[in-house]
């Protein structure tokens, strides 16, 4: 970074803000809006220079403009803000504690400071918490700190060039001392588990009471063959990848001795043992005292930045006469989200199942446990004598990537009256959220589609109420028969769809009727399930067939659940009877002049699956509701209201079945509607009625249909789904098309 500071930046009076404690901003704010929850101090009005950065090499302009970019690219509403280069900008100071996503509200012992943010002058500030959003992206938080200062709790600070093990130890101590069972309940050592003794570099059997660290990292394409053969058995090879070497160092520095790394602790030669361990990843990662995640770089040779020879990227800092302007660097949770580590299938459960994660990014390390998180760029519990002193009356510390997605503590939805129904629906939702996230990950081998998920599967099956799955379609093992019976909800879970931005591809090892049989991000049709009682199944006689034999419901778990089950999964046939929706019911002439708006309860659907994740996690958690609200207002339904385009028969959204328009978030076959109708008429395809959903206290109605293509011998495969969405206020009539007279067909799906 250059030392140059432009005249405009030099004339900013930073002293002005430092005279006012950031915590007093409510009193001294320049705005008079009583509803402004995020008061600010205006520092500079004439800052059009931020948008002409290519002509500007001022170090301050560069820092401030980075905050502007984030608000434009990620958070602004394109309908509100005009062309960025034309608009004037303002530089404003905000209270850090109020705006930082890493600090809980009302935390005691924390010191407030100012963070600076460039926003467009036209931005209606109280409409959104821009300071918070900008900080959660590439920009990070840009703090304005007094020259004379001491490190303080949650105060931004310089990240050291080397990994700060003092901080990491304090994070661990704080979690162990102050957090409850979710962080500190651990699994027993399983027989046959082996770990690396970091002192002797030997592979030793794990023993009861042993504390070990696990590594989660990405194997590169080349997969260097440093197998154990080149040295004596049971000893680490001399030539180990950089990430492994750095992890051994961190393990020792943090006071641990034992380390689990798949490559050395799973005997690749012993297939049976390997299979057994793969099925028990929940125990390995849940049992680890800490998981070190290598989220920088692309493979096992990237190293952990700041530990060995891999250097860290530097945060931006400018020393002025009056103060220090310091960027925390990109939000580490954001960097992790963007990392290759986070994109891979196998690392999904490694991260999700771990109780504590120490994640290394290019800039710094950060810590995430079940209750909260810390990063090196902020003052943390290492500054306190007693970790219990980090007290807050509400809210959690830090950001969380997976949060309580796997929590035993199920959230629930008030709309569902029956408590049993609520528990089951929440459990099924949880499964849907987890699978939705998992499906976005990449796998090198198609046959791993469920293997890389086996640890999560086992964890869910062993939690109460027990949830299993039939090659990816959830199945409640323990639930009242009335609600838990698979027939109640199976049609709903057969009605999955791929995300619009995914390019689905068949995975040959699995049937077409399950998401596991396809590569590509997917999700189910509602953000949340309003109870199993909201579902009305229209299929009948659902069962599975393997090798010509019917699998009875009692045998589902034994037959399908275990990853050690060796039946060729592609041979499992899903059999059922369903009514055929005739092509004559499809029409294109019902186009009405109206906007195709989505009903409110769907705002978390579709491409915004992460938002519904938040909902599921934070339902009963008052402080998080704020985040949820923020996220909603930013990311929510991004469909921009615009003039309706002229009707187009090639557009699936202009088609209807009966009087109801097709729902645009379903996934009809990959062809134009005319081809679809033609195939239905010629009997090559069929559209089958699966069931109805009547959720949101009767305000949301959907009808699910499955499109299949007939193969030989009465077999068929899935090629898409059609969903009708009845909008309570817009659609007349209370029912979907009359299905009483429709003909039944027997289907065997592969």
- Is residue 359 a contact partner of residue 466, using CB atoms and an 8 Å limit? no
Q: How far is the CB of 3 from Zn ion (least distance, A)?
A: 12
Which one, 41 or 58, has the nearer CB to Zn ion?
Answer: 58
Which one, 175 or 479, has the nearer CB to Zn ion?
Answer: 175
Q: Does 58 bind Zn ion (CB under 5 A)?
A: yes
Record the tokens describing residue 171, joined without a space. Answer: 């994070």
Site string for Zn ion, 147-186 (x = CB under 5 A): ----------------------------x---x---x---
Residue ranges with strand state E in 642-684: 656-657, 660-661
CB neighbour class for 399 (10 Å; exposed up to 12, middle 13-18, buried from 19): buried
Query: Which residues in the 110-129 window bind Zn ion by CB under 5 A?
Result: none
Distance CA 653, CA 665 (A): 9
Contacts of 302 (CB under 8 A, 6+ apart): 242, 243, 294, 296, 310
Which one, 346 or 374, has the nearer CB to Zn ion?
Answer: 374
Which one, 371 or 615, has the nearer CB to Zn ion?
Answer: 371
Q: Does 60 bind Zn ion (CB under 5 A)?
A: yes
SS3 for 655? Answer: coil
Record the tokens describing residue 206, joined without a space. Answer: 């794990």
- Residue from 61, 155, 410, 716 touching Zn ion (CB under 5 A): that is 61
* Total interface residues for Zn ion by CB under 5 A: 10
CA dist list (Å): 559 to 280, 469, 480, 493, 500: 18, 11, 21, 19, 33
- Is residue 438 a contact partner of residue 457, using CB atoms and an 8 Å limit? no
Q: How far is the CB of 324 from Zn ion (least distance, A)?
A: 16
Q: How far is the CB of 53 from Zn ion (least distance, A)?
A: 10
Stretch that binds Zn ion, among 30-38, 57-65, 202-210, 571-579 (CB under 5 A): 57-65
For the residues of 304-319, what is the DSSP string, one character each? -TTTSSPPPPPPPEEE
For residue 465, whether the previous peptide bond is cis, meaning omega lies within 30 degrees of 0, is: yes
Q: How far is the CB of 289 from Zn ion (least distance, A)?
A: 12
Q: How far is the CB of 439 from Zn ion (least distance, A)?
A: 28
Q: How far is the CB of 373 from Zn ion (least distance, A)?
A: 9
Which one, 12 or 454, has the nearer CB to Zn ion?
Answer: 12
Distance CA 493, CA 496 (A): 6
Stretch that binds Zn ion, among 84-92, 126-134, 371-379, 672-680 (CB under 5 A): 371-379
Which one, 353 or 476, has the nearer CB to Zn ion?
Answer: 353
Q: Does 91 bind Zn ion (CB under 5 A)?
A: no
Residues in the chain: 750
Name beta bridge partners: 90. Answer: 119
Contacts of 177 (CB under 8 A, 6+ apart): 387, 388
Q: CA 140: distance to chain centroid?
A: 20
Closest alpha carbon to 617 in 410, 393, 419, 474: 410
Look at strands 540-546 and 549-551 and give their pairing. Answer: antiparallel
Which one, 367 or 655, has the nearer CB to Zn ion?
Answer: 367
Stretch that binds Zn ion, among 52-60, 98-106, 446-454, 637-645 (CB under 5 A): 52-60
Q: How far is the CB of 6 from Zn ion (least distance, A)?
A: 4
Q: CA 412: distance to chain centroid?
A: 19
Q: How far is the CB of 102 from Zn ion (least distance, A)?
A: 15
Which one, 369 or 616, has the nearer CB to Zn ion?
Answer: 369
Q: How far is the CB of 154 from Zn ion (least distance, A)?
A: 17
Which one, 294 or 318, has the nearer CB to Zn ion?
Answer: 318
Residues that bind Zn ion (CB under 5 A): 6, 9, 58, 60-61, 175, 179, 183, 369, 371
């Amino acid at each position: 970074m250059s030392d140059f500071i432009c005249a405009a930046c030099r004339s900013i009076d930073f002293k002005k803000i430092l005279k006012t404690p950031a915590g007093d901003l409510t009193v001294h704010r320049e705005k008079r809006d009583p509803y402004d929850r995020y008061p600010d101090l205006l520092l500079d009005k004439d800052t059009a220079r931020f948008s002409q950065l290519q002509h500007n090499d001022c170090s301050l302009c560069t820092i401030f403009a980075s905050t502007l970019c984030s608000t434009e690219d990620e958070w602004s509403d394109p309908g509100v803000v005009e062309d960025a280069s034309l608009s004037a900008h303002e530089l404003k100071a905000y209270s850090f504690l109020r705006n930082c996503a890493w600090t809980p509200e009302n935390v005691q012992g924390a010191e407030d400071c100012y963070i600076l943010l460039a926003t467009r002058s036209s931005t209606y500030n109280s409409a959104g918490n821009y300071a918070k959003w900008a900080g959660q992206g590439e920009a990070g938080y840009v703090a304005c700190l007094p020259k004379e200062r001491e490190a303080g709790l949650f105060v931004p600070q310089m990240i050291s060039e080397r990994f700060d093990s003092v901080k990491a130890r304090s994070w661990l101590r704080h979690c162990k001392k102050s957090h409850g069972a979710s962080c500190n309940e651990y699994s027993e050592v399983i027989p046959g588990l082996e770990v690396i003794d970091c002192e002797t570099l030997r592979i030793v059997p794990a023993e009861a009471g042993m504390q070990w660290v696990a590594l989660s990292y990405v194997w590169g394409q080349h997969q260097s063959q440093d197998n154990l053969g080149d040295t004596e058995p049971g000893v680490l090879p001399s030539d180990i990848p950089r990430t492994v070497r750095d992890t051994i160092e961190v393990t020792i520095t943090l006071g641990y001795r034992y380390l689990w790394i798949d490559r050395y602790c799973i005997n690749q030669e012993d297939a049976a043992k390997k299979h057994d361990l793969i099925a028990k990843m929940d125990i390995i990662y849940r049992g680890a005292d800490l998981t070190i995640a290598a989220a920088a770089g692309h493979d096992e040779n990237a190293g952990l930045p700041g530990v060995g020879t891999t250097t860290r990227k530097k945060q931006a800092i400018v020393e002025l006469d009056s103060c220090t302007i310091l960027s925390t660097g990109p939000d580490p949770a954001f960097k992790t989200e963007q990392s290759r580590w986070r994109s891979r299938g196998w690392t999904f459960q490694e991260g999700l199942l771990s109780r504590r994660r120490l994640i290394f990014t290019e800039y710094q390390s950060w810590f995430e446990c079940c209750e909260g998180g810390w990063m090196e760029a902020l003052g943390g519990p290492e500054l306190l004598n007693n970790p219990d002193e980090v007290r807050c009356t509400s809210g959690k510390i830090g950001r969380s990537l997976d949060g309580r997605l796997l929590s035993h503590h199920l959230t629930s939805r008030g709309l569902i009256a029956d408590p049993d129904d609520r528990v089951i629906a929440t459990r099924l939702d949880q499964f849907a959220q987890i699978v939705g996230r998992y499906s976005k990950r990449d796998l090198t081998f198609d046959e791993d589609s469920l293997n890389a998920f086996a640890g999560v599967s086992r964890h869910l099956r062993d939690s109460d109420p027990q949830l299993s799955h039939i090659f990816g379609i959830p199945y409640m093992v323990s639930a009242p028969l009335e609600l838990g019976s698979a027939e109640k909800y199976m049609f709903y879970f057969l009605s999955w769809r791929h995300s619009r931005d995914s390019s689905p591809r068949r995975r040959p090892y699995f049937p077409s009727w399950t998401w596991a049989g396809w590569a590509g991000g997917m999700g189910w049709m509602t953000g949340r399930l309003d109870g199993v009682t909201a579902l009305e199944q229209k299929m009948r006689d659902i069962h599975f067939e393997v090798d010509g034999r019917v699998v009875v419901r009692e045998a589902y778990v034994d037959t399908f659940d275990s990853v050690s089950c060796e039946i060729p999964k592609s041979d499992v046939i899903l059999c059922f009877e369903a009514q055929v929706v005739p092509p004559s019911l499809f029409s294109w002439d019902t186009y009405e002049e109206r906007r195709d708006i989505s009903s409110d309860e769907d705002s978390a659907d579709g491409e915004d699956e992460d938002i519904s994740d938040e909902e599921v996690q934070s339902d009963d958690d008052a402080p998080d509701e704020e985040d949820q609200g923020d996220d909603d207002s930013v990311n929510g339904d991004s469909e921009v209201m615009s003039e309706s385009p002229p009707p187009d028969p090639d557009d699936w959204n202009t088609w209807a079945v009966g009087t109801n328009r097709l729902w645009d978030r379903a996934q009809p076959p990959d062809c134009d509607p005319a081809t679809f109708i033609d195939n239905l008429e010629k009997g090559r395809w069929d559209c089958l009625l699966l069931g109805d959903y009547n959720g949101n206290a009767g305000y949301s109605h959907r009808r699910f249909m499955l499109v299949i293509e007939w193969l030989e011998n009465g077999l068929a495969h899935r090629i898409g789904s059609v969903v009708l969405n009845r909008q309570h206020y817009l659609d007349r009539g209370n029912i979907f098309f009359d299905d009483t007279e429709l003909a039944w067909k027997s289907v065997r799906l592969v």
